[in-house]
Structure 1
Amino acid sequence: MALRPPRSHPRRNLPRTVRTLLAALVIAAVAVPLSGAARPSAVPAPAPAALAPLRAATPADLAERYAVNRGFIRAAERTATRHGDRKRAAALRVLADPARHFFSFDGRDGGRSAEVFGDLSRARRIAVLVPGAGISLDRYWRLRAAAVALRRETGEGTAVIGWLGYETPDTVSRASVTTGRAKSAATELRTFLAELKRTEPTARTSLLCHSYGSVVCAESAPGLAVSDIVLYGSPGTGADNVSALHTPATVWAGRGGDDWIAEVPHVQLRLPFITLGFGTDPVSQKFGARHFAAGDGGHSDYLKPGSLSLKNIARIVSGRTPAEEGRHA
C-alpha cells in the first residue's frame, strides 16, 4: 500500500498574507550573518596533492588511497598546531587514525572529505550521505555518527560514504537560503560519483540528502547514475517537482513529526539580484516524490539509532520497500 504524505502542518492552513509575512520574517532572520562567530575556514591547511583517478576498488588500491589521504590529514594537523588551534589539531589527530578510511581529504576552507564506512571493495550497495548547513571539520562528528548508524543498520555488503565535499553554509546565513553553495557543490558531487561509478560499476548507489544537502543533490541530479535520491529534513530543492530534477532515479522524501524545517514556508522570493528560498515542499503531493515514514523525530534525528526513519532509509538503500508508520519490522 502506498505511503501517504505527512499531514499538513497547522501553519500551512494560515491565510496567504500571513504566510507571506511569515516567510519574510523567517528569511530575514536567517539572512543576517552571525557576528563574532569563529569560522572553520579561518584555520589554514596545506593544499593536498592532486590524486590520479581510482580505476578499480581493489583492496590494494583502496589501501593506498586511504594512506595518501591519511598523510594529507597529518599535514593539516601540523599546520593547525603551528597556527595555535589546538581544537582543530586534536580533531585532525582523531581523523588520522589508521582505522579510518578517507577516499579524499582537503583541510582548507572548513574541510572537504569523503570517509568510507565498510568494505568498499566488496560493496554491493553504496550509500552516499550529503550533509546540510553547519557541517565542517569542527562538527564532523555529526556526519560520522549518521554514517556509522546507517552502516550498522544496513549490515554487510553495504558501504556508507560521508561526503563533505563542499563548503557548507552557516545554518544562520544568507547562503543557507540560496542555491549558490549548492550549485558549486554539485560539480564536486557529480565528479565524485563518476569516479565511484568507475570503481564500482555494478554496485547499487543511493544518494541520501539531509536539509540543505537536498538542494545540493537536486542541483546534481540531472542524468546522475544513482538508483535512489532520498530527501529528508529538506527545506525544498529549488525545483518545482520531481520531473524538474531530470533524473532516472527514484526520488524519496520524508520528514519527522518534530522537525522544525516544517515551519519554514516553501516559497521562492525572486529579488533583483538574488532568489531566496527553495520552493515546493518535497513531501507534498505536488512535488511527486515517493514518501517514506520518518516517525516523530527532529531535524537531526533521521539517522538516529533505533528510529523509524533510519530503518526506512536503510530499506531504501537495500532496495526494499519502506515500512509504514507504526510498523518497525
Structure 2
Amino acid sequence: MDAIQKRFDATGKNGLPEAYLLGFSTEGDGRAIIANGNPDTADHQAVYVPGTESDLGNIEGGINRMVNVWHEADAKSDGKSVSTITWLGYDAPDSVWKDAPFPNYAYDGAPAFNHFLDGLEASHSGDSEPHRTVIAHSYGSTLVGAAAQTGHLNADDVIFAGSPGVRVSGADEMDVPKGHVWNEEADGDPVPDIGRWGHGGDRFIIPSDQEFGANQMTTDTEGHSGYWDETSYGPSRSLLNQALVVVGKGDNVPLKPPPDPWAHPTPGRM
C-alpha cells in the first residue's frame, strides 16, 4: 500500500500523469491493478503481466517498470496519449522451482485477464479505438498464452520478455494480427530454456525459438529482470523497443538476425 501511495505522490513529477487504482485486494497474496494515465481516454494502452514471485508485497517493482515504459512511450507517441498498466490480477507462482513448472496458475488467471482486456475495450471513451499492447514477463507470458488459448485476447500486439513458454507453439495461435508478436531474450537469462519443457506447447517451442514466429527484438540488458532498466546514458534498448511497439511503431524496432543454420542448435531450437 505504501508503494501504491508512493506512485500517487509522484504524479506531476518529471511529467508523470495521474495514477489510477483499477483494482485492489489483500486476500491471499494480494491483487493490485495500477495505471499511469487514464486508460479510458488513452490512444495507446499497455498492460503488463508480471511473473513468478509477484505479489502485493513487491508490487513496487512492477509499478516502476510501467512508469519507465510510460516515459519512453510518451516521448515517442507524437502527441497521442499513453496509459501503461501493471496488472497483478492473478495468483502468481510463489516459487520458481516448486510452483512455476505447473500451468494451473496460468489457466486459473487467464479468464480474469481476458475479462480485464474486454473491460478496457468497453470502457474506452476516446475519439478513436485504442491501440492495446500486452507486455508479459516470465510466467506472466505463460498466463497470456493460456488466455489466448482458452479465450479471446483483446490486444493488437503482444510482447514477451524472458518467456519460459506460452502453452502454444506458434505466434499464429496468440490471437493477434500476423507480425504483431514480439519477443525479448537477454543474454544470461536462463528462464526460457529451462521453461520450454513445461510450457513450450505440444512441440516444446518457446517464443525465443525462430520457428515460433515472433519478432526477435534486440536487447542490450542482461539476466532475467533487466528488460526495463535505465542505464547511465538513458533507457536501455530493451526498454526502448517495448515503447516503440506500445505506440504502434514496431517497424522501427531493430531485430536480431536469424540464427546461423550451421551452428550447433540447442535442443528444440533452430
- The verdict on a shared fold, with TM-score over 0.5 as the criterion, is yes
Q: 1:236-315 counterparts in 2 under 5 A? A: 236-248=165-177, 250-264=180-194, 266-268=196-198, 279-305=204-230, 306-315=235-244
Is residue 200–residue 206 contact of structure 2 (8 Å, CA) maintained in 1?
A: no
Aligned partners of 2:141, 2:207: CA distance in 1, in Å?
10
Please list the CA deviations of residues 145-172 of structure 1 after superposition, one character each: whole Å capped at 9, or x if unmatched.
Answer: 1011001111161100100000110133
Structure 1 residue 91, shift from structure 2 partner: 5.3
Query: Is 1:174 aligned with 2:98?
Result: yes
The one-letter amino acid paired with 1:234 is: S
Structure 1 residue 292, shift from structure 2 partner: 1.2
1:318 is aligned to: 247
Query: Is 1:139 aligned with 2:139?
Result: no
Aligned partners of 2:70, 2:3: CA distance in 1, in Å?
22
Aligned partners of 1:207, 1:319: CA distance in 2, in Å?
12
Closer, same or farther in 2 for the Cα pair 1:103/1:280, shift >3 Å? same
1:150 is aligned to: 69
Is residue 45–residue 82 contact of structure 2 (8 Å, CA) maintained in 1?
A: yes
The one-letter amino acid paired with 2:229 is: K
* Structure 1 residue corresponding to 2:121, chosen from 164, 177, 197: 197
Structure 1 residue 96, shift from structure 2 partner: 7.7
Aligned partners of 1:232, 1:109: CA distance in 2, in Å?
26
The one-letter amino acid paired with 2:187 is: G
Structure 1 residue 277, shift from structure 2 partner: 6.4
The one-letter amino acid paired with 1:216 is: L
Closer, same or farther in 2 for the Cα pair 1:260/1:322, shift >3 Å? farther
Unpaired segments of 5 or more residues in structure 1?
1-72, 74-89, 269-275
The one-letter amino acid paired with 1:252 is: W
Structure 1 residue 309, shift from structure 2 partner: 0.8
Closer, same or farther in 2 for the Cα pair 1:144/1:244, shift >3 Å? same
Unpaired segments of 5 or more residues in structure 2?
12-18, 257-270
Closer, same or farther in 2 for the Cα pair 1:302/1:98, shift >3 Å? closer
Higher radius of gyration, 1 or 2:
1
**TM, length-normalised to structure 2:** 0.77
Is residue 184–residue 219 contact of structure 2 (8 Å, CA) maintained in 1?
A: yes
**TM, length-normalised to structure 1:** 0.64
Aligned residues: 231
Aligned partners of 2:195, 2:51: CA distance in 1, in Å?
18
The one-letter amino acid paired with 2:63 is: R
The percent identity for this pair of structures is 26
2:20 is aligned to: 101
Structure 1 residue 226, shift from structure 2 partner: 0.9
Aligned partners of 2:145, 2:90: CA distance in 1, in Å?
15
* Structure 2 residue corresponding to 1:215, chosen from 115, 119, 142: 142
Q: 1:23-42 counterparts in 2 under 5 A? A: none
Aligned partners of 2:162, 2:173: CA distance in 1, in Å?
20
